[in-house]
Amino acid sequence: MALTIVESCVNCWACLDVCPSDAIVSAEPHFLIESKNCTECEGDYADPQCASICPIEGAILNAFGDPINPKGSLTGIKPELKDDALKEIQAR
Amino acid sequence: MELNVLNADQAAASAEGCSASACGSSNDQMSHLPDSIREKVQNHPCYSEEAHHYFARMHVAVAPACNIQCHYCNRKYDCANESRPGVVSELLTPDQAVKKTKAVAANIPQMTVLGIAGPGDPLANPERTFETFRRLSAEAPDIKLCVSTNGLTLPMHVEELAKHNIDHVTITINCIDPEVGAKIYPWIYWNNRRVRGRAAAKILIQQQQKGLEMLVAKGILVKVNSVLIPGVNDEHLKVVSKIVKEKGAFLHNVMPLIAEEEHGTFYGVMGQRGPSDEELQDLQDACSGDMNMMRHCRQCRADAVGMLGEDRGSEFTLDKIETMDIDYDAAMKTRAIVHKGIEEELAEKQLKRERLAGVKVPSGPVAANKSFRPVLMAVATSGGGVINQHFGHATEFLVYEASGNGVRFIGHRKVDQYCIGNDTCGEKESALAGSIRALSGCEAVLCSKIGYEPWGLLEDAGIAPNGEYAMEPIEEAVMSVYQEMITAGKLDAESELKKAEV
Ligand code: SF4
Ligand code: SF4
Ligand code: SF4
């Protein structure tokens, strides 16, 4: 089982530094996870480290191909609450 | 009553535009600091308005990762706490950064400060940041180092920071209340977990405050940056300013939020507005009562090389550096001679300033026994401390306040040029309206020349255009215009009333 990084990655290096398994390589056009090395952080940490620091929604997928940080999860605003948030912020 | 032109020399210095290393503080703002601190900042291009015309600094981008998210940042670009939004710096390895720094220092002996500010958070990249610092402390001991951080991991790095030739640390502190923080920081990476919302803000705030205290206890200079976000932390920043000062930060720099949709930041996309020039100025005024404020900072590019607005970065690209053979020991000798020369010149200027401080400008007859309200005026200058720019060519105006206490520099107002050349003048009207908006709150604008059309529009907007002081020193000119306003009765109570009725 392994995670994957997809093209929305912005090559910020954050995941590479925190991976306990040296599974992440800096590459162009975007960083990559070497699946043979990725342990999903099993035994090291409760959460996969790369996905806990990655700033980009949707950039890291789980073994089933689903984004670990789906849309709205990192801004703190769920898509269905976006209209209310827009109103509040634009009133400032 | 006599009007005092405060430190004419210093005012001239502050008027010079320096976009690459353009942050500093005027000397009167420094005067209350203890000698030990003043000495440290004397040669610092960011803090001493005087020195920043002689000494230069540079940044190297060795720190890509970040451990928090700020709502005004898009991680495709450099850390928005230290750089203008949308800027991308070329990432360097520590080895490349050391080579580049030495190459620049050898070629530009005025370069005295090396900073690491991004493109992420330097202390979220401790290995890359500290390897760069370690090597530079050993190989180029005549260069001072500085670093900026969001503060999250600051306490655990204070020991290491104290080992190097660290001149100062900048912490970006936007709040001390987690409720406020939750609106600015959606998450942090802490103890191997992503922590969100109020809990995240609380940890970040605690770490920042603790880091600030620890640095001060170690005798390391701390500057605090804050981003002014209307409706989020505007009132709150007054408290922040007070607290960071009490804890020993030597400067507090309030920067305006810049949020544009095209930058792809959360605030940009959600339509959070930035502060108006007046809101920024009001807040800076409110904070300056109890704090040394920086008004000159123009949010420099993180990797800018050079001084006085020149960006000499293209002289020092990676391939060019690789081919340079730098004998740093020899360079250090040259540098020492250049530095000594500059210090002597600065000392001379200091003496001259002390002589000038006694000079008074005689006040007009009408001014006697009366005090008048302060007036804001904008000045178009391309540097040199004199009024020497055409209104239509000004990309920014310097705003001064004239009052019975003399003339003081307030800040910069950026404008879009309305007249760049023949073919671009189609957009003239709307851009001109933009310039006039940028001058709101000012009652006069002093420039070398001004066209017929803007003249009329400015008058309509209640801003008196003035081209009579071309090539004259700014402060004297501003004071003269103030005197003229007083003499003409414009600041009398009756005329104020009339103005209010209109
Ligand atoms: S899940 Fe853990 S082991 Fe796998 S790449 Fe991410 S950080 Fe490395
Ligand atoms: S943390 Fe996310 S954006 Fe950054 S390099 Fe890793 S996958 Fe890419
Ligand atoms: S600390 Fe800097 S790099 Fe990190 S999110 Fe904030 S502005 Fe961006």
The domains found in chain A, sorted by start residue, are 1-92 (3.30.70.20)
Q: Quote the pLDDT of residue A65.
A: 94
Q: Quote the pLDDT of residue B342.
A: 78
Nearest CA in chain A to B233: A92
C-alpha span between B200 and B184 (Å, rounded)? 11
Nearest CA in chain B to A86: B270
- Distance (Å) from the C-alpha of residue B201 to the closest C-alpha of chain A? 13
- A5 CA to centre of ligand 1 in angstroms: 10
Q: Quote the pLDDT of residue B45.
A: 52
- Distance (Å) from the C-alpha of residue A88 to the closest C-alpha of chain B? 9
Give me Rg for the CA atoms of chain A. 15
Residue holding tokens 């409706």?
Answer: B231
Residue holding tokens 């006039």?
Answer: B436
CB contact under 8 A, B189 and A52: yes
Half-sphere exposure of B33 (CA within 13 A, CB side): 25
| Both structure tokens of B85 | 């939004």
Q: Quote the pLDDT of residue B197.
A: 93
Closest C-alpha to B57, from B79, B92, B82: B82
Amino acid at B272: Q
Q: Quote the pLDDT of residue B367.
A: 43
Contact list, A53 vs chain B (CB under 8 Å): 65, 67, 189, 194
Contact list, B125 vs chain A (CB under 8 Å): 13, 17
Q: Quote the pLDDT of residue B133.
A: 96
Q: Quote the pLDDT of residue B266.
A: 92
- Tell the CATH superfamily of the B360-501 domain: Dinitrogenase iron-molybdenum cofactor biosynthesis domain (3.30.420.130)
Contact list, B266 vs chain A (CB under 8 Å): 75
Strand-pair partners of B170:
B148, B223
Q: Is A74 on the interface with B (CB under 8 A)?
A: yes
Amino acid at B174: N
Question: Hey, whose CA ends up nearest to atom 5 of ligand 3?
Answer: B69
Q: Quote the pLDDT of residue B357.
A: 54
CATH number of B5-322: 3.20.20.70
Give the residues of chain A that fall short of pLDDT 50. none
Closest C-alpha to B340, from B35, B43, B41: B43
Q: Quote the pLDDT of residue B250.
A: 84
Q: Quote the pLDDT of residue B308.
A: 36
Instruction: Sort A1 into a burial class: Cβ within 10 Å, 0-12 / 13-18 / 19+.
Output: exposed
Amino acid at B24: G
C-alpha span between B358 and B302 (Å, rounded)? 40
CB contact under 8 A, A89 and B75: no
| Alpha-helical segments (H) within B297-366 | 318-323, 328-356
Question: Hey, whose CA ends up nearest to atom 3 of ligand 2?
Answer: A9
Q: Quote the pLDDT of residue B324.
A: 81
User: Taking a contact as any Cβ pair under 8 Å apart, which residues of chain B between 214 and 273 contact chain A?
Assistant: 230-232, 266-267, 270-273
Residue B193 CA: distances (Å) to CA of A51, B26, B180: 9, 44, 22
State if residue A15 touches ligand 2 by the CB under 6 angstroms criterion. Answer: yes
Q: Quote the pLDDT of residue A4.
A: 96
| Both structure tokens of B185 | 């920081």
Q: Quote the pLDDT of residue B53.
A: 54
DSSP assignments along B452-468, one per residue: HHHHHHHHHTT-EEE-T
State if residue B66 touches ligand 3 by the CB under 6 angstroms criterion. Answer: yes
Nearest CA in chain B to A14: B65
Give the residues of chain B that fall short of pLDDT 70. 1-55, 83-86, 289-313, 350, 352-370, 383-384, 416-431, 494-502
- B343 CA to centre of ligand 3 in angstroms: 36
Residue B315 CA: distances (Å) to CA of A64, B61, B306, B312, B345: 49, 17, 10, 6, 28
Torsion of CA B52, B56, B62, B65, to 10 degrees: 10
| Both structure tokens of B397 | 């105006």
Question: Hey, whose CA ends up nearest to atom 7 of ligand 1?
Answer: A19
Closest C-alpha to B75, from B59, B86, B62: B86
Q: Is B67 on the interface with A (CB under 8 A)?
A: yes
Contact list, B76 vs chain A (CB under 8 Å): 10
Instruction: Supply the ipTM of this predicted assembly.
Output: 0.95
Q: Is B155 helix (H, G, I), strand (E, B) or coil?
A: helix
Q: Is A12 on the interface with B (CB under 8 A)?
A: yes
Q: Where are the domains of chain B?
A: 5-322, 360-501
- Distance (Å) from the C-alpha of residue A70 to the closest C-alpha of chain B? 14
